[in-house]
Structure 1
Amino acid sequence: MKVLVTGATGFIGRPVVQQLREAGFEVRIASRHREPTSDAVLLPDPDAPAEAFLAIMQDVTHVVHCAALNNDRNASDADYLKANAELTGRLARAAALQAGGRFIYLSSIRAVAGPGFSGTIGETTTPAPQCAYGRSKREGEIRTLDAYRSAGRSDAAMLRLPPVHGEGMKGNLAALMRLADTALPLPTAALTGVRSLISCEAAARAVLHLLARDTPLDPIYVAGDHRPSRISEIITAFRRGFERPVRLFSMPGAPMRAAESLLGKGNAWETMTATQICDPSLLVSQGWAPETDTLEQLAEMARRSRFGA
């Protein structure tokens, strides 16, 4: 069976391709950008003719859609919508017509909740995205499910991921890793926010699991590592990998919140103190095993970054 993987040369796409090939799948890799050093095919633009999308589906059984726009400060709301919703909808319509297998869309918990949300996120959590990226990912989910329902099919699934850690990660986790790589004491012990994370390899294993299981798919899945981590634990793990003293100290929340507001970064406090726990129990009940050594993996990633291993 052949699997079309979009965003196959990206942060999550690479381990997805590796896992699929190791499992015996033939893979066609596709990218939104030209890749001169790879055999990736170019994804059509969102406004391309339908025939262009059908063409890349030739001989394809399954589709794993990893390609997305994220962490681009120069992108507008329209840019996010075009890359994450319009392209996704066109791809899903073509797959529903021509690919006989499953369509797995790598979505995000940002399609459900903003970074300041506190609570547990599961498949039934009411979507309330708070940023351009989250709104575009939610719209991508809607367009995918609509495309498959219109074709009378139910073999598309949204895989909502928490922040993903691994080599080449970006966003808040990368910022925390940079913050940890200093000998200065940090006032982070008071940051009791708890976050679910997932490694890029575990996300890839979830994709493989959804493609390989022999029972019908649910429309939405939430993934996450076995144990959520406190922000202070994440920084401590990075510092352990960098072989730096932990040197975290507590500071009352009110002065820190006031300082953030004066600096124009009031949302940063909400982000660092929010508790967002992803409940992967549906995936687990269907045979997927979450990783249990998140903090050890973060420490090892910092160690490799320091020593170039």
Structure 2
Amino acid sequence: MEIGISTFVETTPDPQTGEVISHAQRIREVVEEIVLADQVGLDVYGVGEHHRIDYAASAPAVILAAAAAQTQRIRLTSAVTVLSSDDPVRVFQDFATLDGISNGRAEIMAGRGSFIESFPLFGYDLDNYDELFDEKLELLLKIRESEKVTWKGGHRPAINNLGVYPRPVQNPLPVWIGSGGNQESVVRAGLLGLPLVLAIIGGSPVQFAPLVELYKKAARHAGHDASQLPVASHSHGFISESTELAAEKFFPSTQQVMNVLGRERGWGPYTRSTFDTARSPEGALYVGDPETVAQKIIHLRKQVGITRFMLHVPVGTMPHEDVMKAIELLGTEVAPRVREEISQWEAESQ
């Protein structure tokens, strides 16, 4: 069971003061957070790509590369790379470079993206949303399979027997498929035999169990060994010394961000009642003391089959020292409890 962190490098207004830190400051803080995550024994850190004023990570591979030079063990991934509006050649080159700097710790998490700002920014038509992803994923996988590439598609100039460099340390360079729970994307990942990441940020996580089974069924249908394919989850959460303190610290920034997105997407208001329901034992928020969060992760593994858990923290702007403390607790207290109990459970199940 792998345990890690994901972030969108948010620079939203502080919910208490209204102040907004600079993109540069938040980027530097995230590098410090990745270094700490490595030091406390976490397995993976993911940085998500966005192209708007309240998110500072338009180039995740650059941020991860800055941390790669200061870390030893932790795996470094995008979360996600918006592949539909990017060039697969450049994506591969960036992460192969990161793989070299980190000596084999880079991963790509490819997704279509729930934020669409990158499409007009790079000149892509949203009417081609699905077609762009399918085509560019095909090219990305072709590049990782072969040094020399011959390829032709409908939205990018053809490549005729050209080399793509540098080559990564890992062969193949890991490529995960990120999904918000769409059945089509889950089946696609299974048929391709690619690891799957599910964004479980609402409702009951147990409801995702049928999607995991659908993914494995598709993998088996395509001749892949489904038992060897990892499944990850990405969920919002926060850890503090007590569950009450964790909730009080995490609610203001979470409410602010969710209400901004809600106004953009037509959701209802995000209230304290919404928050408290989500952090209940069956909800999708992983907020509490180390024991509370550990038990929710264990439940997710046993009921849904998740083999990698990524805690998304912070949501919105929180004090850097609070985020660092949450990362420390995840690595030193939550992760050991989860790994020990899952190890015992698997041994008893055999």
TM-score by length of 1: 0.36
By percentage of residues, which structure has more helix? 2
